[in-house]
Amino acid sequence: MAVYTIDDSRKVTTLRLIEMKRQGKKIAMLTAYDYTMARIFDAAGLDVILVGDSASNVMAGNYTTLPISMDEMIYHARSVVRATNRALVICDMPFGSYQVNATEGVANAIRIMKETGCDAIKLEGGEEIIDTVKAILAAGIPVCGHLGLTPQSINKFGTYTVRAREQAEADKLLRDAHLLEEAGCFAIVLEKIPAKLCAKVCGEISIPIIGIGAGPADGQVLVAQDMLGMTRGFTPKFLRQYADLYSVMTDAIGSYITDVKSCDFPNESETY
Ligand code: KIV
């Protein structure tokens, strides 16, 4: 059984993540959307918990991340924050909550911080949303960027395939990463881009780069339900599956059904 030993039990801060990059220490991040999972992740020593808008797919069964609302993200983030002592908690700003203008973006970012108690927010995009990023930072809210495959723009892309293989898109991504760093973001998630481009960004940018399907970076993030093997039929190349909880849970539930139907459960010791 692999048990990770935490070398620093203090609450993880955005500043600590930047120090970790300077010291060459890798950052481990996973998504969580509820109290029970977040409690386990925090106790296991995870550095960062992302309350991702992938909750739209994973928790609500939507096909994309677009339908999830501010109220739903706040519900998920609040539950995660209640469970967390050490990990830094980042909450995704949902689609539509920051794209209209900076004023709306700041108001929604403030609402997320106030109503959830999370430590930071994440939003998708570079140059197009840089004024909003700056305005949110000016309100004192730490911002994590997200470039590469940005699922809130899936209807524009039309595909979940690897991004920035073309030089022009790679150049834009690098420019966007510099813009986000200069604006004052504390980290950037890079999703599904070539490893060579990710290595270039990691080398040029002083804030932590957290990869998902981007090869080696300053840290990694995965959707928890995918890496725990709870989801079926999603097997992208970048996904390492650490458990087969789908089978574990199916077996456990099968045993329960058998025990109930055979009157084996509850037995005398399980009865008042
Ligand atoms: O919402 C999410 O899960 C994310 C990760 C894929 C980085 O943004």
Q: Is any atom of ligand 1 closer than 6 Å to the C-beta of 51? A: no
Cα dihedral sign, 164-151-190-193: negative
Asked whether the predicted pLDDT for residue 120 surpasses 80, the reply is: yes
CB 201 within 8 A of CB 173: yes
Q: How far apart are CA 258 and CA 272, in angstroms?
A: 22
CB count in 10 Å sphere of residue 148: 27
User: Which residue reads 């109930």 in tokens?
Assistant: 260
128 as an active site residue: the answer is no
> Can you give the pLDDT at residue 117?
98
Instruction: State whether residue 58 is helix, strand or coil.
Output: helix
> Can you give the pLDDT at residue 7?
82
> Can you give the pLDDT at residue 2?
80
CA of 259 to the centre of ligand 1 (A): 39
> Can you give the pLDDT at residue 189?
99
pLDDT digits (tens, 9 = 90+) for 28-85: 999 999 999 999 999 999 999 999 999 999 999 999 999 999 999 999 999 999 999 9
Whether cis (ω within 30° of 0) applies to the bond prior to 266 is yes
Q: How far apart are CA 126 and CA 245, in angstroms?
A: 36
Q: How far apart are CA 105 and CA 74, in angstroms?
A: 15
Confidence of residue 89 (pLDDT cuts 50, 70, 90): very high
Per the prediction, the chain carries an average pLDDT of 97
The protein residue with its alpha carbon nearest to ligand 1, atom 2, reads 52
Q: Is any atom of ligand 1 closer than 6 Å to the C-beta of 225? A: no
The protein residue with its alpha carbon nearest to ligand 1, atom 4, reads 52
Strands of the chain (E only): list them.
27-31, 48-51, 88-92, 120-122, 143-148, 187-191, 209-212, 219-222
Mean pLDDT, rounded, for 245-265: 98
